[in-house]
Structures are given as C-alpha cells and as structure tokens.
Amino acid sequence: MTSNPAVDREPAVVADAVTPAVSIEGVTHEYAAETGRVHALAAVDLTIAPGEFVSIVGPSGCGKTTLLRAVAGLLEPASGAIEVFGAAPQIARRDRALGLVTQEPGLMPWRSVEANVQLALDLAGASGSASTWLERVGIDRYAGLYPAELSGGMKQRVALARALAVEPRLLLMDEPFGALDELSREAMRLELLAIWERERVSVLFVTHSIRESLLLSDRVVVMSGSPGRILDQIDVEFPRPRTDALLSEPTFIEAERRIRDLLRTAV
C-alpha cells in the first residue's frame, strides 16, 4: 500500500470522551452537471458527540449523501471544515476511526462471507477474528457461503460486520436498509440498535424514513431541498431499548408529524 507522507505526518485522532465525534462548520459544496454547476450544500454546521446516534432526513437530492461522503473523507467540500475526533477525515480513515456502510453492500462475489470480512481486517492491518463479528451480527452460520447465495438482508449484515470489524469509533451509514423489504429492514434496524447499545460507537445515519430515524436516533437532523441546509434538529427522548411498539405511542406520532411538516417545507 502506497504511503501518503502528507497524511502520515498528520496527528492521530483524539481518543477521549470530550472531543466531538464529528464537527462540521460552514460546509458548502457544489459539483458540475450537464445542466451546469449544482449547489449541493449550503453552510452546514453540525456536531455529533461521542457515542451519539444522529440521523439525517431530507428530500431526495438535498445533499445528505454528499455530506456523509465529506465526513468519510471521500470528497473535499468547496468550503468549510470537517473534523472527526479532532482530526481530518482522511486521518480518521488512516487510524481506523470510522467505518462506512452504504445501500449497496459491495461484497466481493468470489470471496466467502467470512473472507469478505477478513479482507477488511487484513487491509486495515487489524487483529481480530472475522467470525467474531459475523456472530455479533447474527450471520456466523453462513460464514462459508458466497454473496450470490445470500438475501439482501444477509448481505447487509455482512457489510455491517465488515465495517465494525476494524472497531471504528464512528459508523457512517448511507441508506443501508433502503433496498430491503419491510421485514428485513425491521430485523436489521433491531440488530443495529442492539449493536449500538453494546458497542456505543457514534453513528451518522442517512435515511428517507422518518420512523426509522426516530426509532434509532438520539437526534434527527432535518435538511432542506437543494442546496441542502439544516432546517432543524429534533432531540429524540424516547426511552431505550426501543421496539416497533413505540410506533403507536402518541408522543411518537407527534414527533413524526413534526418532522413531516418540516419536510413539506423543505423541497
């Protein structure tokens, strides 16, 4: 693997309980399209505390994924600053402080379930056992199967195990359950909650589902249409652990209505 001297000279991420997991200040971004320049993000400010679960909801094209990719260090915003545990996102990736799960699992079809997870460990130079993480996401009995033999929900469990295997302190999730049927989505949501309550990593979760955001999160960030900006941040104070029984509670219905009303003005 080629070393990047500029990145290697940067200080490591901060390992304490005070430094924000994510600090976003005045971030804007635009990109070129056939119709001209597209203004994706407009002066976004957001802070996520260590161990906090934050979801982002907003209309399609509002810049949710762009913002997540910037936090992951996969794109450089046009202006503003992003830090992950006090360091640049690229440094957080170098130090294995963040993991990424997207809607497309991106598994290598020629490698078994266990080998896909083991590859993440090997590339990161991390110790540990792939089988341990397969067990934690409830898919260890399928370790010898290949991606083509898995359902969509099972593939996402493998992708989650792969991201968690390097023991990140921040988990970035971009519509990870969007392609799943409702039953698989519910099962994965409950699995993610159980893992989060056990591991207490920080999570930044992008979703189109208001209900999903309220069931999972400590805080829901509501974004406007393009260019994306933050309209409001809703603290979610329902007691944990949470189940789908919460969906019929009047307080849940009211929180869902509040976010829906904000989104109606967001386009």
pLDDT digits (tens, 9 = 90+) for 33-89: 666 677 889 999 999 999 999 999 998 888 899 999 999 999 899 899 999 999 999
Exposed/middle/buried for residue 188 (C-beta within 10 Å: 0-12, 13-18, 19+): buried
Q: For position 34, what pLDDT does the model report? A: 66
**Whole-number pLDDT of residue 211:** 92
pLDDT band at 30; cut points 50, 70, 90: confident
Nearest to 223 by CA among 26, 7, 41: 41
The stretch 168-179 carries a mean pLDDT of 89
C-alpha dihedral, 61 to 59 to 220 to 86, nearest 10°:
10
User: What integer pLDDT is reported at residue 218 of this predicted model?
Assistant: 96
> Of 148, 147, 149, 152, whose CA–CA distance to 176 is shortest?
152
For residue 1, name the pLDDT band (cuts at 50, 70, 90): very low
| Residues 105-133: tens digit of each pLDDT | 889 999 999 999 999 888 887 777 888 88
Please state the φ and ψ torsions of residue 149, each to the nearest 5 degrees: -95, 5
Tell me the average pLDDT across 129-150: 90
* pLDDT score for 5: 52
- The CATH homologous superfamily of the domain defined by 11-97+170-264: P-loop containing nucleotide triphosphate hydrolases (3.40.50.300)
In the chain, where are the structural domains located? Answer: 11-97+170-264, 108-167
Asked if 13 contacts 202 with a C-beta cutoff of 8 angstroms, the reply is: no
∠ CA 253-258-263, nearest 5°, is 120
Taking residues 8-29, what's their average pLDDT?
Answer: 82
pLDDT band at 2 (very low <50, low <70, confident <90, very high): very low
pTM as predicted: 0.90
**Phi, psi of 81, deg, nearest 5:** -135, 140
Cβ-based neighbour number of residue 241 at 10 Å: 8
